[in-house]
């Protein structure tokens, strides 16, 4: 359960960051409320995951899913660069997350 909560926390983080970008383009209350919901959800699920997992592992994975997810969202939804370096870094992050799950 802790691992699922951690992935969900990372996804909420990704959602919150996407809403920050949206807020920059569209100054209305909707993205602002959604970004608050995103970060609140992110911290709640991370706190739950941390009860069972070591801090270093949980923190690194939380940040990693936020960063990789943000880059993937940017590529798919906002036409950001799909440069091979970005793809390689995303693969490194996801590979390391899977590896950490396997060794713990």
Partner 1 sequence: MNHEWMKVIIAAFFEVCWVVGLKHADDLWTWTGTVLAIVISFYLLVKSGEKLPVGSAYAVFVGLGTAGTVLSDIVFFGEPFKLEKILLIAVLLAGVIGLKLVEDEKKGEEA
- Give the footprint of partner 1 on this chain (CB under 8 A): 43, 46-47, 50-51, 54-61, 63-64, 67-68, 71, 81, 83, 85-86, 88-93, 95-97, 99-100, 103-104
**By C-beta, is 28 or 56 nearer to partner 1?**
56
In order of 3, 88, 90, 96, the CA distances from 84 in angstroms are 29, 6, 10, 18
CB of 30 to partner 1, least distance (A): 21
Q: Alpha-carbon distance 19 to 11, whole Å?
A: 12
Q: Where are the alpha helices (DSSP H) in 26-54?
A: 29-52
19 vs 97 by CB, closer to partner 1: 97
């Amino acid at each position: 359960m802790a691992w699922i909560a951690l992935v969900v926390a990372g996804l909420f983080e990704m959602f919150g960051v996407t809403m920050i970008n949206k807020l920059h383009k569209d100054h209305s209350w909707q993205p602002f409320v959604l970004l608050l919901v995103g970060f609140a959800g992110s911290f709640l699920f991370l706190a739950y995951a941390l009860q069972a997992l070591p801090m270093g592992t949980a923190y690194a994975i939380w940040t990693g899913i936020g960063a990789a997810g943000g880059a993937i969202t940017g590529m798919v939804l906002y036409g950001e660069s799909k440069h091979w370096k970005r793809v390689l870094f995303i693969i490194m992050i996801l590979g390391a997350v899977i590896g950490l799950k396997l060794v713990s």
